[in-house]
Each structure stands twice: as structure tokens, then as C-alpha cells.
Amino acid sequence: MRRALAAIFLGLISGARAEWTLSFRNTVAVLPGGAEFVEREAQLDGSAVLVQGVFFTAKQARFAVIDNAAGLSLGEAMTAGGALAGTNGAYFKADQTPVGLEIAGGAKIHGFEKAKLLSGIFAVTKGVPRIVRPGRYTPAKTDTEALQCGPFLVEDGMAVAGLNAARAARRTVVATDGREKWALMIFSYATLAETAAILGNRAIFPDFPIKQALNLDGGSSTALWVATVSRPFYLSEMGRVRNFLAILPR
């Protein structure tokens, strides 16, 4: 505690801005096709955030939105779908109605909505995934998957400013380097501002310079399932969620 306070005090005196640092990185498993399940920990002034995620290229795997009208758990849905990995998806109402755009397997489940929180769209068009602002999204018949969520965390390689810095919770994120690399990640406990700062820090992601990152539903909805060899890794959601974002083999 004294060391953390001293670091803050020295930073204030010198005018230096404290930065998150990478305390460890570990490849837990390499999945069929080459996708990697990786854990890494970010530290700042005595605080630590564990980041767990699956990293892959568009040639190694593909995305699919899984609508969960049947009320399955993430583990049940990923097992049934033969997924390599998956997380919870976007927001939903108390009656399980999706919030914002949802397209799953080419079927439009719910339409686009205008709201400050719904500031980004993850979509797969003609097999190519992308993360865009709603104003830059043009619906197409070739959209096979889509989730509208937010807020944007990283845009054009920079952490988004002005995000909430008071409320910490579990976080779920989809991110890309703007080329062929993609990731689905969960954060152990962080504010939106902290999540953005970690994602935008090249020292934390030297192997995956993030260009765009979008926040998915977090808190009690956050979950990660990975088809590791001995038995699946499963950090489960705390209640039923309406949709999932899955990573499927090519």
C-alpha cells in the first residue's frame, strides 16, 4: 500500500502519467487451427487486472452470433455448436428481448436502435468481420452476423477518452488489429476507462496492436468458454443471457 501511494505521489510531483504494465503473459492452450488461448495481467499502482482471451486470424477461425432464445448456458451453446471458444454477447432487456441490432446466421433477430451506449456495431459481411460506428454501417443482405453494443473502447489505435472511471465490473470485449487478427477477451474487474487504457497500451499487447475494440455486455453477463484439450475452460455467466459471440473452426 505504501509503495502504491508513493508511486502516485512521485507521479504527481514529476508530472509523469502512470501507465499500465504487463506483469505476465501465458499461452494456456493452442486450439485446433492455430487460435491461442492467452492470459495476461496488467498492473498499475498496485492494482492488477487479469485479461483472458482467444486470439486468432481470419484464416484460423471465424465468428458466429448465436441467438439464445432457448435459454442455454454459454457452455451448452458452445458445445452444441462445436465452437472453439465463445463469450456472452450484447445487451438485452429483463424479458430477454435483445437491445440493438442482432443478426445470427443470416437471420435478423432484432433491429437497429439509436442510443448513446450503442455506439458500435460488430458485423460479419461476406465472411469478413469488422467493428464500425453506427453512422458508418450500411445494412446489406450479405451481413450474416451482427451485434450492436458499446461503448467503443479503442478507435483507430487510441484508447477512447471520457469513459466511466468509477464503476468497476467484469468486462467482455471484441477487438481487432484492423487487419486479420481478432480477439474475444474478458477482464477480471475494471472500469471502462481502465479497460480502454489497457487495450490501447502497446506494452500490454505487443503481439496484438489493437486498432478497434468494442465493449460487449459485462458484469454478471460476462463469460468465457474455451475448448481446451483436457476439459473446457469455463468462466460462467451469472444468469441467462440472450446471445453469444462464438469462434468457430474454419
The answer to whether 49 touches 58, Cβ cutoff 8 Å, is: no
CA distances from 94 to 42, 44, 82, 129, 179 (A): 34, 36, 29, 29, 37
Give me the numbers of helices (H) and strands (E) for the chain, helices first please.
Answer: 3, 18
pLDDT tens per residue, range 148-204 = 999 999 999 999 999 999 999 999 999 999 999 999 999 999 999 999 999 999 999
Backbone angles phi, psi at 65, to 5 degrees: -90, 130
Looking at residue 18, what is its pLDDT? 82
Average pLDDT over residues 221-243: 96
Answer whether 235's CB lies under 8 Å from 152's CB: no
Strand pairing of 143-149 and 181-190?
unpaired
- For residue 229, what pLDDT band results from cuts at 50, 70 and 90? confident
Strand partners, 158: 155
Phi-psi region of 130 (alpha: psi -120 to 50; beta: other; left: phi over 0): beta
pLDDT tens-digit series, residues 55-84: 999 999 999 999 999 999 999 999 999 999
pTM: 0.92
Cβ atoms of residues 8 and 17 within 8 Å? no
